[in-house]
């Protein structure tokens, strides 16, 4: 369990624009019960005041050590696996994972460095552009007519899965210790920009309407869990294409 405790520390619980101080406190409490420590907040409501502390109920240390960020890109920069959360089905099917598998994968990759589980706003969840930054989306099975859990409730359920996974050895073979680390999120984003540049230069992509094609390509490559070596190969191919074109 000790090695796995270390890994739990590498799992960032990211809250995008949480608007209720009480919810942030309740998230800290949920995290502490599940041995999670790294709370990352993007444009949060006041989280060190009386309301948040009351709901944290003794988990104030998590609130005090929480890191604030300006943008989601910034917190994900050095993460090698990023999983978003969503209560609802989206237009184009997003690659999705069940909670138990989500937990196993996060834990396996947390052995190589930080990973992130991203939660959305209380009112409107995560935007599609924010989900584009995630390799997968996890949904907690719930009443189809009322599937939206309270933010802290969702952190509690997925935190429980993480703690449970940390007690077992159920890891897919390709995710065992010693695998090549997945690419960092900032390297993936650089690859996507480079890909878009080449698609425009070759005339395959109309720069006036890049969105849908790029979103499909993000999903294709996100599904592949590209590792460091694979991203380097793909960048090399793009550079070779550009050299020929110029
Ligand atoms: N009305 C929003 C739901 C926001 S609930 C929407 O339609 O998306 C706030 C956050 O809690 C969500 O963004 C998500 O991070 C988490 N959450 C709530 N219910 C969930 C569920 N069933 N599965 C996964 N995450 C959930």
- DSSP sequence for 132-192: TT-SEEE-----TTS----HHHHHHHHHHHHHHHHTS----GGGSTTSPPBPPHHHHHHHH
Dump pLDDT digits (tens) for 118-175.
999 999 999 999 999 999 999 999 999 999 999 999 999 999 999 999 988 665 555 5
What is the share, in percent, of the chain residues with pLDDT greater than 70? 93
- When pLDDT is averaged across residues 96-112 and rounded to a whole number, the result is 92
Nearest CA to ligand 1 atom 8: 125
- When pLDDT is averaged across residues 70-78 and rounded to a whole number, the result is 97
Distance of CA 142 from the midpoint of ligand 1 (Å): 11
User: For residue 92, what pLDDT is reported?
Assistant: 61
User: For residue 209, what pLDDT is reported?
Assistant: 79
The CATH fold assigned to 185-245 is: Helicase, Ruva Protein; domain 3 (1.10.8)
SS3 content of the chain, % helix, strand, coil (to 5): 50, 15, 40
User: For residue 168, what pLDDT is reported?
Assistant: 81
Dump pLDDT digits (tens) for 5-30.
789 999 999 999 999 999 999 999 99
- Which of ligand 1's atoms lies nearest the C-alpha of 123? 1
Distance of CA 201 from the midpoint of ligand 1 (Å): 39
Phi-psi category of 218—alpha, beta or left, where left has phi over 0 and alpha has psi -120 to 50?
alpha
Dump pLDDT digits (tens) for 211-237.
789 989 999 999 899 999 999 999 999
Residues sharing a CB contact under 8 Å with residue 137, sequence separation 6 or more, in sequence order: 83, 84, 85, 86, 90, 94, 95, 96, 97, 131
Same CATH fold assignment for domains 3-166 and 185-245: no
The structure's pTM equals 0.93
| SS3 category, 69 | strand
User: For residue 91, what pLDDT is reported?
Assistant: 59
Top CATH class, 3-166: alpha beta
- Burial (CB < 10 A; 0-12, 13-18, 19+), residue 141, is exposed
User: For residue 167, what pLDDT is reported?
Assistant: 87
Pocket of ligand 1 (CB under 6 A): 85-88, 119-120, 122, 124-126, 139-140, 142, 147-149, 151, 154
- When pLDDT is averaged across residues 179-202 and rounded to a whole number, the result is 94
d(CA 188, CA 86): 22
User: For residue 172, what pLDDT is reported?
Assistant: 55
Kindly state the tokens that stand for 46.
């006041």
Catalogue the E-assigned strands of the chain: 11-16, 38-42, 67-69, 82-85, 96-97, 115-119, 136-138
Sheet of strand 67-69, all strands in order from the earlier edge strand to the far edge: 67-69, 38-42, 11-16, 115-119, 82-85, 136-138, 96-97
- When pLDDT is averaged across residues 184-202 and rounded to a whole number, the result is 96
Kindly state the tokens that stand for 72.
């989601």
- When pLDDT is averaged across residues 81-92 and rounded to a whole number, the result is 83
- When pLDDT is averaged across residues 190-210 and rounded to a whole number, the result is 93
d(CA 227, CA 56): 37
pLDDT band at 176 (very low <50, low <70, confident <90, very high): low
Ligand 1, pocket-test mutation among 19, 83, 91, 149, most atoms within 8 A of CB: 149
User: For residue 112, what pLDDT is reported?
Assistant: 87
d(CA 202, CA 242): 9
Dump pLDDT digits (tens) for 29-65.
999 999 999 999 999 999 999 999 999 999 999 999 9
Distance of CA 85 from the midpoint of ligand 1 (Å): 7
Could you tell me how far CA 196 lies from the centroid of its own chain? 22
Domain coordinates of the chain in residue numbers?
3-166, 185-245
């Amino acid at each position: 369990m000790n090695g796995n405790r270390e890994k739990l520390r590498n799992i960032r619980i990211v809250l995008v624009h949480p608007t209720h101080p009480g919810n942030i406190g309740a998230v800290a409490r949920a995290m502490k019960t599940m041995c999670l420590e790294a709370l990352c907040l993007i444009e949060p409501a006041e989280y060190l005041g009386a309301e948040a502390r009351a709901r944290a109920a003794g988990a104030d240390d998590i609130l005090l050590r929480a890191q604030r960020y300006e943008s989601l890109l910034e917190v994900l920069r050095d993460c090698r696996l990023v999983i978003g959360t969503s209560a609802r089905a989206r237009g184009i099917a997003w690659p999705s994972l069940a909670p138990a598998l989500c937990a196993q994968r996060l834990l396996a990759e947390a052995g190589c460095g930080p990973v992130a589980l991203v939660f959305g706003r209380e009112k409107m969840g995560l935007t599609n552009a924010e989900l584009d930054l995630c390799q997968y989306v996890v949904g907690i099975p719930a009443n189809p007519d009322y599937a939206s859990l309270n933010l802290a409730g969702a952190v509690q359920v997925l935190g429980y899965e993480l703690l449970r996974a940390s007690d077992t050895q159920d890891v897919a073979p390709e995710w065992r210790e010693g695998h090549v680390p997945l690419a960092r999120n900032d390297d993936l984003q650089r690859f996507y920009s480079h890909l878009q540049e080449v698609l425009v230069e070759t005339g395959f992509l109309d720069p006036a309407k890049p969105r849908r094609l790029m979103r499909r390509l993000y999903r294709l490559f996100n599904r592949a869990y590209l590792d460091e070596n694979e991203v380097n190969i793909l960048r090399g191919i793009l550079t070779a294409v550009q050299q020929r074109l110029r």
